A and B are shown apart, each in its own frame.
Chain A
Amino acid sequence: MNVDNVKSQMRKGMLEYCIMLLLHKEASYASDIIQKLKEAQLIVVEGTLYPLLTRLKNDDLLSYEWVESNQGPPRKYYKLTEKGEIFLGELESSWRELNDTVNHISSR
């Protein structure tokens, strides 16, 4: 087992959760999401984001609208849907449980 593999697995699991958390706080453009995720060192390459965003949108957890800009083409402005908010709530409780379990085990 490679430690990098495991790390990447953990990151993969967290990515969707974190994207939805960010969008829950405020709606944003894809490039802003990328920026924040990079700061948190959750993604290394930007390309990881796009298939995820599309999948979440296809599952109706996100929605977007086109916003015109004077410099360049119109951009997608993402926000969480109702279904997404509910989904996020479940993810949050799941995360808290996991957190508690790990803490519990490591403190024993």
Chain B
Amino acid sequence: MKKTLTVNLGGTVYNIDEDAYRLLDDYLNNLKIHFRKQQGADEIIDDIEARISELFSEKIAGGKQVITISDVEEIIVRLGKPEDFEDQEDEVNTGKSAGTNGENNSRNSSEKNNETNSNAKEQSAQNKQQEQPYSSRTSHVKQRLYRDPDHKMLGGVAAGIAAYLDWDVTLVRILMVFFVFIPYTPVIIAYLIAWIVIPEAQTAAEKLSMRGQAVTIENIGKTVTDGFEKVANNVNDYVNSEKPRTLLQKIADVIISVAAFLFKLFLAALVIVCCPVLFVLAIVFISLIVCAIGLAIGGGAFIFNLIPAIDWDPIITISPFLTIAGTMGGVLLIGIPLVGLVYTIFRQLFNWTPMGAGVKWSLFAFWLIGATFFFISLSAYGWHWPY
């Protein structure tokens, strides 16, 4: 069963299979590229579209409802590929484009084996059958090192290196972990530096050059549709992408997942400890919680026992309710920003979902309430305000 689209070709509407549409779209784009330098390029393309529309009508006339991919292939054979048009003056051009097309083809066929989506597979299989893909201009293939955001565990450094070297990602990660345990190899620092320095591949063109694939219209289209499908599938494609994993690879994947989780916890703790603001907040928060609980349970006596040195008299003489409320308020005052910061850290590391607006607003409201109580009780204690 295939998904179909409705397409407007020269003013008439046709139902067309999705894979057929993609093939046709590619073809028309290649024609546009081919004719772009000629005068009246738009008119030529319009004429060709009208012709295709005529041919489609003939197909539909027999009672068929949908244009299929074999129809489109037939039409492309009839109309001819841009190389066949014999309207370019330079023969040198055909020689060169045949060469790069051949190169592009072999690269594409090895890369195309890796596509997960079956529709993309079908289409690329069909493309291979047409001798060469008709991308008339293939740009020079220069491979660059990027971080790969689609296959990342932490920062995509390992995934990026794997894409550059065309190795298996898990292999790269295992090597990294291995080197952590060898003395005099500063793997963790090197990883963090790489995380900061190496750019992330965000656009489709960057992702293609990360893998060393030519940046052609075809390939970009495939990258974009793959990206959509990844989002739509909502599955962690890290384990499911590309070729099916052998048992050994799966075991390694599990080990790496556990190791990565532990490493992320370690990083989170490291950040909290190293960042002084966070650290102080954390300490204050913990102590406030202790106070609040203690006060709620034991009343004023709890505080006395805790830190006898301080003169707690003024606080205790005021109503216990206020004391408790004030402490709770203090907890909220310090705690909520702290929780917010920690949540952000964890979100970066563990890909948690961002907080919804409702949650944020209610947290803010609680924070305000907490702040109010805290400051009311403070003034009740007779604290002298700076002004």
Question: Chain A residues in contact with chain B, CB under 8 A?
Answer: 5, 8, 11-12, 30-31, 44-48, 50-55, 57-58, 71-73, 75-76
Question: Chain B residues in contact with chain A, CB under 8 A?
Answer: 10-12, 31, 35, 38-40, 43-44, 47-48, 50-51, 53-54, 57, 61, 77-82, 84-87, 91
Which secondary structure characterizes the binding site on chain B? Answer: helix
CA distance A55 to B11 in the complex (A): 24
Closest CB of chain B to A31's CB: distance in Å?
6
Listed A/B pairs (25) with beta-carbon separation below 8 Å: A12-B86, A44-B80, A44-B84, A45-B79, A46-B78, A46-B80, A47-B31, A47-B48, A47-B80, A47-B81, A48-B86, A50-B44, A51-B38, A51-B85, A53-B47, A54-B43, A54-B47, A57-B40, A58-B40, A71-B61, A72-B53, A72-B57, A73-B10, A73-B50, A73-B53
Residue of B nearest to A72 (CB): B57
Residues in A with CB closer than 8 Å to B38 are 51, 54-55
Residues in A with CB closer than 8 Å to B39 are 54-55, 58
Residue of B nearest to A71 (CB): B57
Partner of B85, one of A48, A54, A55, A57: A48
Residues in A with CB closer than 8 Å to B78 are 45-46
Minimum-distance CB pairs A-B, first 4? A45-B80, A47-B80, A47-B79, A54-B40
B84 contacts A51, CB within 8 Å? no
Residues in A with CB closer than 8 Å to B47 are 30, 50, 53-54, 76
| Known A31-B54, A47-B80, A58-B39; contact A73-B11, beta-carbon cutoff 8 A | yes
Residue of B nearest to A45 (CB): B80
CA distance A74 to B190 in the complex (A): 66
B80 contacts A72, CB within 8 Å? no
CA distance A71 to B10 in the complex (A): 13
CA distance A5 to B53 in the complex (A): 32
Partner of B48, one of A8, A50, A55, A57: A50
Q: Which of A5, A11, A57, A75 has the most CB of B within 10 A?
A: A75
Residue of A nearest to B10 (CB): A73
| Known A31-B51, A31-B54, A73-B10; contact A47-B85, beta-carbon cutoff 8 A | yes
Partner of B84, one of A5, A48, A50, A54: A48
B86 contacts A11, CB within 8 Å? yes
Closest CB of chain A to B358's CB: distance in Å?
53
Partner of A54, one of B44, B51, B61: B44
